[in-house]
Structure 1
Amino acid sequence: MGAETAYHGEMGEQFAARAGRSVYNAYTDRPAMLRLAGDVGGLRVLDLGCGAGHYAAAFLERGAGRVVGVDGSESLLRVARERLGERAELHHHDLEEPLAFLAEASFDLAVLALVYHHVDARARLLAEVRRVLRPGGALLVSTTHPTADWNYFGGSYFADDRVSLPFGNDHALTYRRMTLETFLGELLGAGYVLEELAEPRAVEEGRLVDPGKYERTHRSPTFLAVRLRRP
């Protein structure tokens, strides 16, 4: 995430704790993204907006050869370092800025898990990801579902304003609303080829954590996730 939208300080610490057990993060988005990733054995994986390292840890457990995580929050990276140790290479970096420290064609898979809608310089980020992915490499992107945002915030479905979602007692997540047309249009316009689209629902384990939230993900859309290929 960018420096302005990264989860800093106490908010980052709260998010790190919640992401490990949340129905939405741990049992809806993460299983969907891991399914879309498929076999990662031996792959070089770039986790952009890596947060507390939950996705990176999962890729390593599934045999990824190299995992590099990037995040704009030092609070989250501290937790990620505790979780991952020396198994992953972690960088504190603003995703609004170029990924100049990463070499061309140096990754097989890039992941943007619930971070894309936080970034304003999305066209530049997609171009940078394309640069560091090898030809034929895959990009996974998940975001808030446009219909979920419309249902929650109201107004026009076609609004593209920056919205604020309460988080915890004293914090808020801020991100940019976008339509399905905008989301897919940006990805395809950046030269990627769409391979699969999913509207994730919570896996069965999520029912044990919070039955109400589990059922909610099966009644109305929460997230949107895609797998794309770099030609």
Structure 2
Amino acid sequence: MAIDFHAEANRRTYSGRRADDSWRDAVGRLVEPVNAVVVDVGCGGGTYTRAWQELGAAMVLGVDFSDPMLDAAREAHAGLPGVDFRQGEAAATGLADRCADVVFERALVHHTPDLGAVAAEAFRVLHAGGTYLIQDRTAEDVAQPGSPTHPRGWLFEVHPRLLEVENRRRPDPAALATTLTAAGFDGVDASSLWEVRRRYEDREQYLAEIGTRTGRSILHELDDAELATLVDELRDRLPEGPLTETDRWTIWRATRPA
């Protein structure tokens, strides 16, 4: 069963994590965050909303369609200067025309059925010359083999049907670039990023997140017995000590023409 983003039980599934320097460095090479107005669409628990503020953005608006997740985001981050959270859809944010320098969408587009409408909304919200950043995984990213630093790859070895789910929902790079161009964007390019997701004190801390499906929507496709099997398999494959989890992503950058 797919994740229910509106369920109270899942309100903190995307909370409690900090964006790593590997992400900050990559973003800093793609756009100038200092003094920018940033809209973080699909902000979830606000991890990257906070990160944009820490990178020097003048204002960051976190937008999400889930009231429970927005409640968790506000509890954790709303005290930060220049940060606000608002309820809205990816294709209908409710924000003013041309109000942002950057529109950022991480791990969002694989959940959206109408990429054209989402891209059109980003185009509307951006200033002329503004930057649209989409961070998501392609089928090639998903296919990276599992290892102690990339245990996500082992999910699909243990339960191969998850790979079918992933490949159905992941964006095709050429189709996404065409969609962005059709929405009016210029200069569409893409780059790969190995992002450190989180550093764990030991294997069991990581497995506790897996066992509760924290921050990983794909795990909601498993029933409890399948999830328990996955935890046991990962325990056998991972070392006992500290663990650094990395994931490979693709970041698309596009510009609204001046």
Q: What is the TM-score of this pair, normalised by structure 2?
A: 0.65
Structural mapping, 1:178-217, within 5 Å: 178-194=171-187, 196-203=189-196, 206=199, 210-211=243-244, 213-214=245-246, 217=247
| Gap change, CA 1:42 and 1:178, over 3 Å in 2 | closer
1:98 aligns with 2:98: no
* C-alpha distance in structure 2 between counterparts of 1:28 and 1:225, whole Å: 16
Structural mapping, 1:143-154, within 5 Å: 143-149=136-142, 152=156
Please state how far the C-alpha of 1:30 moved relative to its aligned partner: 3.8
Moved more, 194-203 or 109-118: 194-203
| Gap change, CA 1:94 and 1:204, over 3 Å in 2 | closer
Q: Which runs of 5+ in 2 are unaligned?
A: 145-155, 202-241
Aligned length: 199
Contact preservation (8 Å) 2:38, 2:103: yes
Moved more, 84-93 or 138-147: 84-93
* C-alpha distance in structure 1 between counterparts of 2:250 and 2:40, whole Å: 18
* C-alpha distance in structure 2 between counterparts of 1:54 and 1:36, whole Å: 20
What is the CA deviation profile of residues 21-72 of structure 1, one whole-angstrom value per residue up to 9, with x for unaligned ones?
6xxxx44984466334543121111110011111111111222111111101
* C-alpha distance in structure 2 between counterparts of 1:49 and 1:204, whole Å: 17
**1:13 corresponding residue in structure 2:** 12
* C-alpha distance in structure 2 between counterparts of 1:123 and 1:5, whole Å: 23
**1:170 corresponding residue in structure 2:** none
| Gap change, CA 1:5 and 1:191, over 3 Å in 2 | farther
Q: 1:76 aligns with which of 69, 74, 80?
A: 69
Contact preservation (8 Å) 2:22, 2:196: no
Letter in 1 for 2:7: H
**1:224 corresponding residue in structure 2:** 250
The secondary structure found in structure 2 opposite 1:15 is coil
Contact preservation (8 Å) 1:7, 1:15: no
| Gap change, CA 1:130 and 1:11, over 3 Å in 2 | same
Contact preservation (8 Å) 1:136, 1:229: yes
Contact preservation (8 Å) 2:24, 2:55: no
1:140 aligns with 2:166: no
The secondary structure found in structure 1 opposite 2:194 is coil
What is the CA deviation profile of residues 145-168 of structure 1, one whole-angstrom value per residue up to 9, with x for unaligned ones?
22144674979x9xxx8x369xxx
| Gap change, CA 1:28 and 1:223, over 3 Å in 2 | farther
* C-alpha distance in structure 2 between counterparts of 1:11 and 1:102, whole Å: 26
**1:119 corresponding residue in structure 2:** 112
**2:28 corresponding residue in structure 1:** 35
* C-alpha distance in structure 1 between counterparts of 2:13 and 2:198, whole Å: 22
* C-alpha distance in structure 1 between counterparts of 2:22 and 2:4, whole Å: 20
Please state how far the C-alpha of 1:5 moved relative to its aligned partner: 6.0
Q: Give % identity.
A: 23
Letter in 1 for 2:250: L
Contact preservation (8 Å) 1:28, 1:200: no
* C-alpha distance in structure 2 between counterparts of 1:119 and 1:227, whole Å: 18
| Gap change, CA 1:205 and 1:94, over 3 Å in 2 | closer
Letter in 1 for 2:15: A
Contact preservation (8 Å) 1:5, 1:118: no
